[in-house]
Amino acid sequence: MRNDDFVPPTSRPGPRRRPVFAAAALAGVCLTATGCAGDGGQGPGAGAESASRPATSVPSSSSPSPSPRQSSAAAASPSTGPTSARPLPRGPLTGRTVVIDPGHNPGNRDHTREINSQVDIGTGRKECDTTGTATNSGYAEARFTLDVSRRLRTLLEEQGAKVVLTQDGDRAYGPCVDERARIGNKEKADAVVSVHADGSATGNRGFHVILPAAVNGGDADTSKIVVPSRELGVRIAGNFVRVTGSAPSNYIGDRTGLDTRNDLGGLNLSTVPKVFIECGNMRDPEDAALLTSAGWRQKAALGIAEGIGSYLKR
Ligand code: ZN
Q: What is the CATH number of the domain that holds 101?
A: 3.40.630.40
pLDDT, tens digit, 9 for 90 and up, residues 31-54: 333 344 544 333 322 222 222 223
183 found inside a domain: yes
What mean pLDDT, rounded, does the chain reach? 82
Please tell me the distance from the alpha carbon of residue 182 to that of residue 309, in angstroms, as a whole number. Answer: 22
Residue 83: the pLDDT is 60
63 found inside a domain: no
29 found inside a domain: no
12 found inside a domain: no
Kindly report whether the peptide bond that precedes residue 175 is cis, defined as omega within 30 degrees of 0: yes
How far is ligand 1, taken at its centre, from the CA of residue 160, in Å? 28
Q: In whole angstroms, how far apart are CA 76 and each of 179, 217, 252, 267?
A: 10, 27, 34, 21
How far is ligand 1, taken at its centre, from the CA of residue 132, in Å? 5
Structurally, the chain folds into a number of domains equal to 1
209 found inside a domain: yes
How far is ligand 1, taken at its centre, from the CA of residue 77, in Å? 21
Please tell me the distance from the alpha carbon of residue 127 to that of residue 176, in angstroms, as a whole number. Answer: 8
How far is ligand 1, taken at its centre, from the CA of residue 104, in Å? 6
Please tell me the distance from the alpha carbon of residue 175 to that of residue 298, in angstroms, as a whole number. Answer: 25
Tell me, letter by letter, the H, E, C secondary structure of 154-181.
HHHHHCCCEEEECCCCCCCCCCCHHHHH
62 found inside a domain: no
How far is ligand 1, taken at its centre, from the CA of residue 30, in Å? 8
202-219 mean pLDDT = 98
How far is ligand 1, taken at its centre, from the CA of residue 102, in Å? 9
279 found inside a domain: yes
Q: What is the dihedral of CA 253, 150, 83, 231, to 10 degrees?
A: 0
pLDDT, tens digit, 9 for 90 and up, residues 149-184: 999 999 999 999 999 999 999 999 999 999 999 999
How far is ligand 1, taken at its centre, from the CA of residue 37, in Å? 4
Residue 102 — pLDDT band, cuts 50, 70, 90? Answer: very high
How far is ligand 1, taken at its centre, from the CA of residue 312, in Å? 25
How far is ligand 1, taken at its centre, from the CA of residue 261, in Å? 14
127 found inside a domain: yes
Residue 22: the pLDDT is 31
Please tell me the distance from the alpha carbon of residue 299 to that of residue 292, in angstroms, as a whole number. Answer: 12
User: pTM of this prediction?
Assistant: 0.78
pLDDT, tens digit, 9 for 90 and up, residues 213-271: 999 999 999 999 999 999 999 999 999 999 999 999 999 999 999 999 999 999 999 99
Residue 33: the pLDDT is 36
Q: Active-site residue numbers? A: 278
Contact (Cβ atoms closer than 8 angstroms) between residue 132 and residue 110: no
Domain housing 115: 88-312
How far is ligand 1, taken at its centre, from the CA of residue 60, in Å? 29
